[in-house]
A and B are shown apart, each in its own frame.
Chain A
């Protein structure tokens, strides 16, 4: 068995925008999955502030994922059977937020991102740029202190990519830790710190 990551040590401070770059298969997405508690590490630990989240029970990990981490994926990962608005509101469902407040905030977010008029459309009826903006709204609805973005601009044209990168930058300015995985140099250039992965290890960029 070949380890996907080895000897990786990464710390992101509040308000820090970190970019992780590397070739395909270098372990970028695995790193993000581990940080986001989407899969468990075979060895090593993941800490969130003073909480060792990698060793929490499943239920507690679910609470951390729902309340403290926002995800933006390259393939958007919207649920096809839900409308754009329902997809955004899904983030609030599992953290016990009141629907009325979540709805107000979701609408405001969608308005700001320019997709409010598409709220009743299903993902298949949206363009790639619209889907990513909806996915972004879902990721930040609960004000997570950590946002993980896995190639969020990979499927977008330059104009839409700029919108998403601008939002991530703004998040970091607001004190959110942003970890961006990308292979686009212009995207990585937005970050305060760039880390390069090669065969599962950090190397000098």
Chain B
């Protein structure tokens, strides 16, 4: 009990509460900014980790990539381009076809992957699995789902996912990545082709000798990996130039476009962060300064008893440290509790608003302690010039 008493100086309850309110605001706003940042950064890492190729045009069966079919012959041509290390055929389909053109950043997708090819994305060689396992070559009728996808449908390993009349057994649930894969259902490319054909019966008529298409041509895109040391942008341009009839994304250009398209969010989170710092900082420094000024009389008494300026500064800083630390921790606890309660409520829709990252919490704690100490030092220096008699009189 002695330790707790020392950590929380008597008479400072309202000071601690005042600081807690400021820090809670800072942490809550910061956690929202962290969440948006992680989402944008995750997308950026993804597009910089692979070259995405789609079939040319906006034709039938475009799927999520809004490209045409990427036929197997084209994929073979891409694989022969110097610098290409691997090509993974993919089928990417929006889960809800009625809303597939809207809000694509948060679109739920079925992603079919050719599991015989290793994951081509350099930044996502494997996705973190929270429970169960990831897909393996030869898998059919099974799916691995992202964390938000699973949460919004209460799916767990062993559960069933039904889309477009097809059923998959869930064999794995991914850990939260706070970016696009959280809203994915990943299946084998053959399963995804089945789903595509069911959704788009016109495609069926193109198969066979008359249409000239085989089942292996049914790809909405491909992810291309490059050899070590290759320049991905140069390789993407080379693919575009040497392989006819494909749309190739240039990784750095897509990254730039992504950054530009999320510039609003970046500005928003900067504003949120600055707002959090200002609100939290003002609240904290004002509370600590007021607490010191309230004790002018005590300082006068202590100086009458022999305390030097250094003694007082040391005492005030010690108390400010304890109070700021207590207030900071209380504020963090309040913000985390509120954020957790809100996220718990909206996670059913597969959303998460707050991200209480360790760096944010550490920053909030250091921020509150440093600012508290600075505010206390400022207030102490302001009253240090008072004579003991003046201090006693003013504080009376």
Binding site for B on A (CB under 8 A): 33, 36-40, 58-59, 62-63, 65-67, 71, 75, 77-81, 90-91, 93-95, 138
CA distance A148 to B11 in the complex (A): 30
A63 to B311, CA, bound (A): 12
Q: Given contacts A38-B389, A77-B304, could you give 8 more A-B pairs where the C-beta distance is less than 8 Å?
A: A33-B389, A36-B304, A37-B388, A59-B309, A71-B305, A75-B396, A81-B298, A90-B301
Q: Does B359 sit at the interface, judged by CB under 8 A? A: no
Q: Is the CB of B10 within 8 A of A81?
A: yes
Determine how close the nearest CB of chain A comes to the CB of B217; give it in whole angstroms: 81
Question: Are B308 and A71 within 8 A (Cβ)?
Answer: no
Mask for B377-393, Cβ within 8 A of A = 1, else 0? 00000000001111010
- Asked if A81 contacts B309 (CB within 8 A), the reply is no
Please, how many angstroms separate the alpha-carbon atoms of A137 and B150 in the complex? 71
Q: Which residues of B contact A91 (CB under 8 A)?
A: 305-306
Interface of B toward A, CB cutoff 8 Å:
9-11, 297-298, 301-311, 387-390, 392, 396
CB-CB under 8 A for A94 and B302, given A39-B387, A40-B387: yes
Give the CA-CA distance A66 to B396 in the complex, in Å: 22
Interface pair B308/A39, CB less than 8 Å apart = no
Which single residue of chain A is at the shortest CB-CB distance from B308? A62
**B-chain residues with CB within 8 Å of residue A95 when the two chains form the complex:** 306
Given contacts A39-B387, A94-B302, contact A77 B392 (CB under 8 A): yes
Q: List 30 A-B contacts (CB under 8 A).
A: A39-B387, A39-B388, A58-B309, A59-B309, A62-B303, A62-B307, A63-B306, A65-B303, A65-B304, A65-B305, A65-B388, A66-B305, A66-B307, A71-B304, A77-B297, A77-B392, A81-B10, A81-B11, A81-B298, A90-B301, A90-B302, A91-B306, A93-B305, A93-B307, A94-B302, A94-B305, A94-B306, A94-B308, A95-B306, A138-B305
B298 adjacent to A79 (CB under 8 Å): yes
Which of A66, A71, A91 has most chain B Cβ within 10 Å? A66
Name the residue of chain B whose CB is nearest to the CB of A58: B309
> Within the assembled complex, what's the spacing in Å between the Cα atoms of A8 and B387?
21
Point out which of A93, A95, A138 has the most chain B C-beta atoms below 10 A from its C-beta.
A93
Q: Which of A39, A66, A77 contacts B301 (CB 8 A)?
A: A77
Chain A residue numbers with a CB within 8 Å of B387 are 38-40
Please give me the residue from chain B that is nearest to A76 by CB atom. B301
Closest chain B residue to A135 by CB distance?
B301
Query: Which residue of chain B is the closest to A37 with respect to CB atoms?
Result: B388
Given the interface pairs A58-B309, A66-B305, the reply to whether A38 lies near B388 with Cβ below 8 Å is: yes
Determine whether the beta carbon of A67 is less than 8 Å from that of B10: no
Contacts of A90 in B (CB 8 A): 301-302, 305
CB A34 to nearest CB in B, in angstroms, measures 9
**How far, in whole Å, are A94 and B389 apart by their CA atoms in the complex?**
18
Query: B residues within 8 A CB of A40?
Result: 387
Identity of the chain B residue whose Cβ is nearest the Cβ of A141 in the assembled complex: B305
Return the chain B residue nearest A73 by Cβ: B392
Given contacts A62-B303, A65-B306, contact A80 B392 (CB under 8 A): no
Q: Tell me whether A38 and B10 are in contact (CB under 8 A).
A: no
How far apart are the CA atoms of A80 and B11 in the complex, in Å? 9
Closest to B310 in A: A59
With a cutoff of 8 Å between Cβ atoms, the chain A residues found around residue B396 in the complex are: 75
Q: Which residue of A lies closest to B385 (CB)?
A: A58
A93 vs B311: C-alpha distance when bound (angstroms): 10
Residue of B nearest to A68 (CB): B306
Complex: chain B residue closest to A96, CB-CB:
B306
CA distance A65 to B304 in the complex (A): 6
Most buried by B among A67, A78, A81: A81
| Contact residues in B for A67 (Cβ distance below 8 Å) | 306
Q: Which residues of A contact B392 (CB under 8 A)?
A: 38, 77
How many whole Å from A27's CB to the nearest CB in chain B? 13
Q: Which of B10, B307, B390 contacts A94 (CB 8 A)?
A: B307
Bound CA–CA A67/B189 (angstroms): 87
- CB proximity of B325 to chain A, nearest CB, Å: 18
| A36 to B304 alpha-carbon distance, docked (Å) | 8
- Give Cα A165–Cα B308 distance, bound, in whole angstroms: 31
Q: For the complex, what is the distance from the CA of A80 to the CA of B297, rounded to whole Å?
A: 10
Whether the pair A38, B304 counts as a contact (CB closer than 8 A) is yes
The CA of A59 and the CA of B310, in the complex, are separated in Å by 9
The answer to whether A39 and B389 touch (CB under 8 A), given A75-B396, A79-B298, A81-B10, is yes
Query: How far, in whole Å, are A81 and B302 apart by their CA atoms in the complex?
Result: 13
Give the Cβ gap from A48 to chain B, nearest Cβ, in Å.
Answer: 14
**Other-chain residue from A62, A78, A80 in contact with B306 (beta carbon distance below 8 A):** A62
